[in-house]
Chain A
Amino acid sequence: MCAGEEKRVGTRTVLVGHRPVSETDAYVAQKFCDNRIVSSKYTVWNFLPKNLFEQFRRIANFYFLIIFLVQVIVDTPTSPVTSGLPLFFVITVTAIKQGYEDWLRHRADNEVNKSNVFVIENAKQVRKESEKIKVGDIVEVKADETFPCDLIFLASSSPDGTCYVTTASLDGESNFKTHYAVRDTTVLCTHEAIDSLAATIECEQPQPDLYKFVGRINIYRSNQEPIARSLGPENLLLKGSTLKNTKKIYGVAVYTGMETKMALNYQGKSQKRSAVEKSINAFLVVYLCILLSKATVCTTMKYVWQSNPFNDEPWYNEKTKKEKEAFKVLRMFTDFLSFMVLFNFIIPVSMYVTVEMQKFLGSFFISWDKEMYDEEIKEGALVNTSDLNEELGQVEYVFTDKTGTLTENSMEFIECCIDGHKYKESISEVDGPLKYYGKAEKCREELFLRALCLCHTVQIKEGDQVDGLIGHLEHRSTYISSSPDEIALVKGAKKYGFSFLGLENDYMKVKNQNNETERYQLLHILNFDPVRRRMSVIVRTITGKLLLFCKGADSSIFPKVQQDEIQQTKAHVDRNAMDGYRTLCVAFKELSQEEYDQIDKQICEAKMALQDREEKMAKVFEDIEANMHLIGATAVEDKLQEQAAETIEALHAAGMKVWVLTGDKMETAKSTCYACRLFQTNTELLELTTKTVGHSERKEDRLHELLMEYHKRLLQDFPKNRGGHKRSWMLNHEYGLIIDGSTLSLILNPSQDSSSSNYKTIFLQICLKCTAVLCCRMAPLQKAQIVRMVKSTKGSPITLSIGDGANDVSMILEAHVGIGIKGKEGRQASRNSDYAVPKFKHLRKLLLAHGHLYYVRIAHLVQYFFYKNLCFILPQFLYQFFCGFSQQPLYDAAYLTMYNICFTSLPILAYSLLEQHINIETLTSDPQLYMKISDNAMLQWKPFLYWTFLGAFEGLVFFFGVYYLFQNSSLEDNGKVFGNWTFGTIVFTILVFTVTLKLALDTRFWTWMNHFVIWGSLAFYVFFSFFWGGIIWPFLKQQRMYFVFAHMVTSLSTWLAIILLIFISLFPEILLIVFKNVRRKAQEHPLSSCSLKLPAITAFLGVNKSNIQIENQREVGAEGTSRGHPSSPASCLRQHHPYPNYPIHATNQKCPL
């Protein structure tokens, strides 16, 4: 529909207002797509075919479709309804879900597409629907409206041709950004004027980068050479952003619909698949093999058995003509297919739909969680995808951002130093007198504070008024800025008596210590960029003096100032950095008029450049910000988020490795890491930074040496035989690694001639053995690189990235699970994440409680599904041996059909939604429990085999129990006999009761809903059976079930047999639970006083698993005593102190007997 391939290359030419500019230029009309946003997948017409096609691409659905077709074509024992109905049900439920989601998208699209916009046509304002906008239309947008498409800003109501825009819905930055109209069109601020404009715009083809735009406008005037003006991102108004503080603007549409930058940014988010799904597929293959072998065995046995002619065709049971005439090979093939159909229920048809419903409904628990609700932002957690719920329980590596994630990103001005003198307010009196540790000269002090007041891009936002008075500033207005540091600095300056009052017509107003208002003309802002790491302003004082103020990171300021001034400030800066504060240095320079004129010219030239504008600007800035004088430095504290340290500790204790990836500098990052206890005092730090590697020529050799040294040291500490205990490093000496961006790029991209290209593997080995890794000075892409590197190591551990800013998006998308913090740096991270939480501390509950529970639930769900279908189909298989391998179904068709979708589906769904085998408080407070489910423990082959054997055992009990009962088929007290359908119904009754009661045994957390669905399902089964057998059904060919169930329940022997067989089937389970309780009692007074008492979480994992568990406990216990630690109780306390002693399982554990 939209842009074809060829249109992506080159540029596009847009005729402003669709007016041909000159007769001579041959203009080839380009076709652009309309302004319709289409996020929906389907239309009314293609929904059915497209959705069906997509659903049948799933292997399981396709399998059932095949089975269904076989049933239709071949004469099979069960009617096509038996597998067609569940398939239809599954397909319908999924289609309804997807259709509903698509309907929501349609509605959202319509809301956008049908909204009214004003387009200028023939000097008139025409109301149009948004979707009708075409490229080249001139659009009028009023204040507080969002832009309907990407516009080139032509003119605004303000005479200087500027407008303010907020991009909150694009990148979350709520400050006002100034955009500039094309200089030559700013005067055209009426309908008529703008309509007379004849111009073309040449610009690049649409691309997703929000902050890049290159274009040119050619303005034609009668009988003049066209004027060409360059266009940059400051001329482009993006769809989705909102016009503020400007009455109206005119713009010309350049990118519309799906080609807008916003639309391009929301496409192609890759699908993440969970590890559980892989396990399901593996199990599916096993069951498929069982199915095939069953069918093969039966087919073979059938022909062996039939080789005896009186078995093949006794006189009482002759074949039809058709059967006699069929070829033997064909007959065998049909038989094979028939057996396949008969046993096909072993592959659980409804598992996928149940899993999907479980995930969909289960994800609400995260967003409903009141503990994850943040009062401050009035929001709770957000779930963007429900596919990864269980992955939260499997995380091995946590990659976290520092600023805004571990820290609050709400900066507080702590202290400053002016010419080496420290100024710090006392902590007790917030607004009280300030303590001065020695004093700098008064004029220097004032200069410094003025610099803080002027050198920033902070704006003032007042209550509800847009252009109100500034007089009552203190009471009603707040500072807003894209950088919290700047606000902190401005606020800091206020404490010392200098307050910034706002910007008015290029004049910055500052109230000084004497309550006088000073006015400075703002001439230029040399914007901050991450390469320069500083920003400057050039102002003219009221006296006409020209001043340049610059602030920035110490490393970027120091080379630009007089060297002799550095020393005294540097000491302060270093100390502050050690304390974990963010430091900025402030410098200034006085400019003469000549200098300024030259600078002005340079800047304007650079701004007008068509090519490489950014590099040119950077170079100009570089030149301007030289030979400055250092005034002082500031220290701003980025407060740690509440409970950040506790959370990190808990994650550690849960066996996760926490890596901090930050763009901040090493010292600050390191101190934050200590503060949040990522590094303990006893952690031995290995450093791979420019400091240790050095800048010299032979830094690669040095790096190599370091790598080898660390590697050796770690290998000594971790002997090979400990390899099995993947997560037992807790007991060892702890190592931490610090690496910075430049060293990392050296490791990842070593120069070609370097002999050791295996840096990467050595580095990785070092990393994996360290408890904590700190990567500082990381570029966003490097963050993603690290995540990818860890992700692709052996065993492909599950990674989780958490961050709050746009710079974390790459790593959030890269990791298995991406978590966004709804932080202050915009919403980009949370929009791209899989889950978003308000605070870092919520990660603890999200992983330890929710993740754990989701994993256990879904694992149990999957195992249970396979189990219940195995013991469903096994009796049917065994029955073949007693009915001459004739594919006679054991159960009635209704039971075959409804077993999975009605009788046994709801209890497991309720279980998988509500189960808390250990309650949430225990899970959150005892991180070690998280390790119990690590490495996909509940979906390994061992538990799978346990469940399979359980299913097989129960299937055997069901069948042979009833078989022996039927040695005498007169089970009623009136001597009347039961037939084959009663046989099947008895087996089926036992089956339904057993699998439901088994689930009841497994349920540790009973809610009314569990009771309702478990007992309700059983009651429904009984009710249905009576109903099904109570009527002669006119549409049925055979009335096999007529009164079968009713007769069954009148027989006492049947009752006794059913109760007995249910008991025998559940006996192993009951036994296991009893033994576990006994053993747990025995464990309550073991040798060591500080052994962990772990609730029997794995009633379903079998004995083996819990053996390991017990041994682990012993190990922990033995560790405490055998080493003869003098402080043994204390160390125990340290390890387990915060966690209560589980009074929980007394209440939580159901009495199984």
Chain B
Amino acid sequence: MHQRSARIRGHLAVILSVMLKYTREWCLCMQLIDYTGIEPTSPCNKCLNVSWNSTPSCTCTINFTLDHPFESNVFMYYGLSNFYQNHRRYVKSRDDSQLNGDNSSLLNPSKECEPYRMSEDKPIAPCGAIANSMFNDTLVLYRIDNETRVPIHLNKKGIAWWTDKNVKFRNPSGDANNLTALFQGTTKPVNWPKPVYMLDSDPDNNGFINEDFIVWMRTAALPTFRKLYRLIERKNNLQPTLEAGQYSLDITYNYPVHSFDGRKRMILSTISWMGGKNPFLGIAYITVGSICFFLGVVLLIIHHKFGNRNTSADIPN
């Protein structure tokens, strides 16, 4: 019984893993562009030592080619590495009740936000290290079509968890169209160029419920991480979302990572029913499946050998 079930399990695992690998290779495309500018040849090299408040902003453009068309919806991420968003001091440096629109916390943020709690005797909104270090590069994507740059529509809504956007993060209560008044008495985080109520013109994506902000506030598990930046939706069924060809990425380079030896990336990726491209699962399933299969075969042989003897020598003592 055991042998048989082990064998069946082995077969199943192999089939499943092959299937996984296959589907992923077939429909998952990913384009990864490092725009940190460490290499002197990189167009962004000039921006490497940018600081927070440098005006005017340093901009650079990186051209790249897509070899395959991206058929389905494309997800645009930014990735950082060597950035310890999971550092304890960093993780706890936020005030969730302030972010949830609690008026008393707005003016009197939690002590956990130190040293990003008060600035010039005014409470910071949003307080804390996480908010203060929010990613503020601007990425714009163009398709180069016959030497002309056609901007690609990047959707900035729908990148955060629905529950975060609608429940966990809330602007202070009051007139939603007049955020400035709601944030009266607070000041912007030190590193931000603009206060939180000026993050976006859309009142549905402004203040604490700005989706870029919400995405940033979900601290990453590992020092190398990626966060969803924009969505590129497929327009119709006739043509792929991103055709193969020349593209260019315009970067407004504001976010300094060189000081801590970090890297910045822009990632374009399609997603299957299982999420983004991830070789781990496929490989792991294949490995485990093969081992099970191998052991199943071994056990089958043993079983066969002893099973034969079993029938001949099965005399009750």
Q: Are these two chains actual partners, yes or no?
A: yes
Contacts of A979 in B (CB 8 A): 218-221
Check B256–A315 contact: CB distance below 8 A.
Answer: yes
Check B259–A314 contact: CB distance below 8 A.
Answer: yes
A1032-B259 CB under 8 A given contacts A316-B83, A961-B284: no
Check A975–B231 contact: CB distance below 8 A.
Answer: yes
Segment of A141-149, A631-639, A1075-1083, A1108-1116 in the binding face: A1075-1083
CA distance A653 to B161 in the complex (A): 68
Contact with A along B58-100 (1 / 0, CB 8 A): 0000000000000001010100000111111111111111001
A1034: nearest chain-B partner, CB-CB:
B97
Contacts of B96 in A (CB 8 A): 1036-1039
A968-B278 CB under 8 A given contacts A1042-B163, A1152-B2: yes
Chain B contact-residue range equals 35 or more
State how many angstroms separate the Cβ of A240 from the closest Cβ of chain B: 59
Check B260–A973 contact: CB distance below 8 A.
Answer: no
Check A882–B275 contact: CB distance below 8 A.
Answer: no
A1043-B163 CB under 8 A given contacts A969-B225, A970-B271: yes
Check B6–A976 contact: CB distance below 8 A.
Answer: no
**Among B93, B226, B256, contact of A968 (Cβ-Cβ < 8 Å):** B226
Contacts of A976 in B (CB 8 A): 159-161, 228
Check B306–A1053 contact: CB distance below 8 A.
Answer: no
State how many angstroms separate the Cβ of A682 from the closest Cβ of chain B: 26
Segment of A443-451, A592-600, A884-892, A943-951 in the binding face: A884-892
Check B259–A310 contact: CB distance below 8 A.
Answer: yes
State how many angstroms separate the Cβ of B163 from the closest Cβ of chain A: 4
Check B114–A882 contact: CB distance below 8 A.
Answer: no
Contacts of B310 in A (CB 8 A): 1081, 1084-1085
CA distance A887 to B86 in the complex (A): 10
State how many angstroms separate the Cβ of A987 from the closest Cβ of chain B: 10
Contacts of A311 in B (CB 8 A): 84, 260
Task: Give chain A interface residues in 937-978, CB to chain B under 8 Å.
Answer: 961, 963-978
CA distance A1060 to B299 in the complex (A): 22
**Among A317, A972, A1077, A1151, contact of B90 (Cβ-Cβ < 8 Å):** A317
CA distance A1078 to B1 in the complex (A): 11
A1074 contacts partner chain B, Cβ-Cβ < 8 Å: yes
Contacts of B281 in A (CB 8 A): 965, 1053, 1056-1057, 1060
B223: nearest chain-A partner, CB-CB:
A882
A69 contacts partner chain B, Cβ-Cβ < 8 Å: no
Segment of A318-326, A524-532, A770-778, A801-809 in the binding face: A318-326
CA distance A1052 to B23 in the complex (A): 14
A886-B110 CB under 8 A given contacts A970-B226, A971-B278, A1037-B96: no
B309: nearest chain-A partner, CB-CB:
A1085
B231: nearest chain-A partner, CB-CB:
A975
A315-B275 CB under 8 A given contacts A1078-B303, A1090-B317, A1153-B1: no
Check B309–A977 contact: CB distance below 8 A.
Answer: no
Check B115–A320 contact: CB distance below 8 A.
Answer: yes
Contacts of B14 in A (CB 8 A): none
B40 contacts partner chain A, Cβ-Cβ < 8 Å: no
Contacts of A196 in B (CB 8 A): none
Contacts of B225 in A (CB 8 A): 969, 977
B316 contacts partner chain A, Cβ-Cβ < 8 Å: yes
A1060-B288 CB under 8 A given contacts A967-B280, A977-B226: yes
State how many angstroms separate the Cβ of A1149 from the closest Cβ of chain B: 11
B263 contacts partner chain A, Cβ-Cβ < 8 Å: no
A1051 contacts partner chain B, Cβ-Cβ < 8 Å: yes
A1064 contacts partner chain B, Cβ-Cβ < 8 Å: yes
Task: Give chain A interface residues in 1023-1054, CB to chain B under 8 Å.
Answer: 1032, 1036-1039, 1042-1043, 1046-1047, 1051-1053
Contacts of A1100 in B (CB 8 A): none
Check A1085–B313 contact: CB distance below 8 A.
Answer: yes
**Among B20, B161, B227, B273, contact of A973 (Cβ-Cβ < 8 Å):** B273
A975-B276 CB under 8 A given contacts A316-B83, A1042-B163, A1081-B306: yes
A1141-B275 CB under 8 A given contacts A320-B114, A1060-B284, A1153-B1: no
Contacts of A1060 in B (CB 8 A): 281, 284-285, 288
Check A969–B168 contact: CB distance below 8 A.
Answer: no
CA distance A1037 to B288 in the complex (A): 42
CA distance A544 to B154 in the complex (A): 132
B27 contacts partner chain A, Cβ-Cβ < 8 Å: no
A983 contacts partner chain B, Cβ-Cβ < 8 Å: yes
Check B86–A883 contact: CB distance below 8 A.
Answer: yes
Contacts of A1043 in B (CB 8 A): 161, 163-164, 168
A982 contacts partner chain B, Cβ-Cβ < 8 Å: yes
**Among A980, A1046, A1084, A1153, contact of B91 (Cβ-Cβ < 8 Å):** A980
A1089 contacts partner chain B, Cβ-Cβ < 8 Å: yes
A961: nearest chain-B partner, CB-CB:
B284
Check B259–A980 contact: CB distance below 8 A.
Answer: no
CA distance A983 to B228 in the complex (A): 17
A72 contacts partner chain B, Cβ-Cβ < 8 Å: no
Contacts of A1046 in B (CB 8 A): 163
A1077: nearest chain-B partner, CB-CB:
B2
Check B2–A314 contact: CB distance below 8 A.
Answer: no
Contacts of A967 in B (CB 8 A): 278, 280
**Among B227, B261, B316, contact of A1141 (Cβ-Cβ < 8 Å):** B316
From B5, B83, B225, residue with most partner A Cβ within 10 Å: B225
Check B221–A1032 contact: CB distance below 8 A.
Answer: no
State how many angstroms separate the Cβ of B98 from the closest Cβ of chain A: 11
Check A310–B261 contact: CB distance below 8 A.
Answer: yes
B302 contacts partner chain A, Cβ-Cβ < 8 Å: yes
State how many angstroms separate the Cβ of A837 from the closest Cβ of chain B: 34
State how many angstroms separate the Cβ of A883 from the closest Cβ of chain B: 4
A484 contacts partner chain B, Cβ-Cβ < 8 Å: no
CA distance A317 to B86 in the complex (A): 11
Check B260–A315 contact: CB distance below 8 A.
Answer: yes
B112 contacts partner chain A, Cβ-Cβ < 8 Å: yes
B57 contacts partner chain A, Cβ-Cβ < 8 Å: no
**Among A77, A884, A1067, A1153, contact of B2 (Cβ-Cβ < 8 Å):** A1153
Contacts of B20 in A (CB 8 A): 1056
A479 contacts partner chain B, Cβ-Cβ < 8 Å: no
Check B226–A1047 contact: CB distance below 8 A.
Answer: no
**Among B164, B228, B313, contact of A975 (Cβ-Cβ < 8 Å):** B228
Task: Give chain B interface residues in 1-29, CB to chain A under 8 Å.
Answer: 1-3, 5-6, 9, 20
Check A980–B260 contact: CB distance below 8 A.
Answer: no
CA distance A1032 to B170 in the complex (A): 12
B135: nearest chain-A partner, CB-CB:
A316
Contacts of A1141 in B (CB 8 A): 316-317
A1071 contacts partner chain B, Cβ-Cβ < 8 Å: yes
State how many angstroms separate the Cβ of A959 from the closest Cβ of chain B: 11
CA distance A978 to B160 in the complex (A): 10
Contact with A along B299-317 (1 / 0, CB 8 A): 1001100100110010011
CA distance A1073 to B93 in the complex (A): 49
B138 contacts partner chain A, Cβ-Cβ < 8 Å: no
Contacts of B133 in A (CB 8 A): 315-317
State how many angstroms separate the Cβ of B70 from the closest Cβ of chain A: 13
State how many angstroms separate the Cβ of A270 from the closest Cβ of chain B: 49
Contact with B along A1084-1105 (1 / 0, CB 8 A): 1100011000000000000000
CA distance A1152 to B6 in the complex (A): 10
A1063 contacts partner chain B, Cβ-Cβ < 8 Å: yes
Check B260–A964 contact: CB distance below 8 A.
Answer: no
Show 24 A/B contacts (Cβ-Cβ < 8 Å), sorted by A.
Answer: A310-B261, A319-B115, A883-B223, A886-B87, A964-B280, A971-B278, A973-B273, A975-B231, A977-B77, A977-B220, A982-B221, A1032-B167, A1037-B112, A1039-B100, A1046-B163, A1053-B275, A1053-B281, A1060-B284, A1064-B288, A1078-B302, A1081-B306, A1090-B317, A1141-B317, A1151-B2
Q: A888-B91, A968-B276, A975-B276 are in contact. List 19 more A-B contacts (CB 8 A).
A: A315-B256, A315-B260, A316-B90, A317-B129, A323-B89, A882-B222, A884-B223, A969-B226, A970-B271, A977-B215, A978-B221, A983-B222, A984-B221, A1037-B97, A1043-B164, A1051-B275, A1064-B288, A1067-B288, A1153-B5
